[in-house]
């Protein structure tokens, strides 16, 4: 469930006027993209996790 929080954080950081509430950004994302908007970029996140975890496993197995 980390992807919705990552999308929210990115949208908040990209906004020039940073004086808005968290609920404001949730409402904007939901209005513009629906529930799917919170999961934008999930495929990239999964690909990154696969590469990271397989690398960790390979290095751990080799060093063991």
For 41, residues 6+ apart whose C-beta sits below 8 A from its C-beta are: 3, 6, 7
Dist. CA 3–CA 40, nearest whole Å? 8
Place of tokens 């409402």: 27
- pLDDT-based confidence at residue 1 (cuts at 50, 70, 90): low
pLDDT digits (tens, 9 = 90+) for 16-51: 888 899 999 999 999 999 999 999 989 998 999 999
């Amino acid at each position: 469930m980390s992807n919705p929080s990552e999308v929210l954080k990115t949208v908040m950081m990209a906004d020039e006027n940073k004086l808005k509430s968290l609920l404001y950004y949730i409402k904007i994302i939901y209005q513009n993209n629906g529930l799917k908007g919170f999961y934008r970029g999930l495929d990239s996140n999964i690909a990154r996790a696969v590469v990271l975890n397989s690398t960790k496993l390979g290095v751990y197995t080799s060093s063991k």
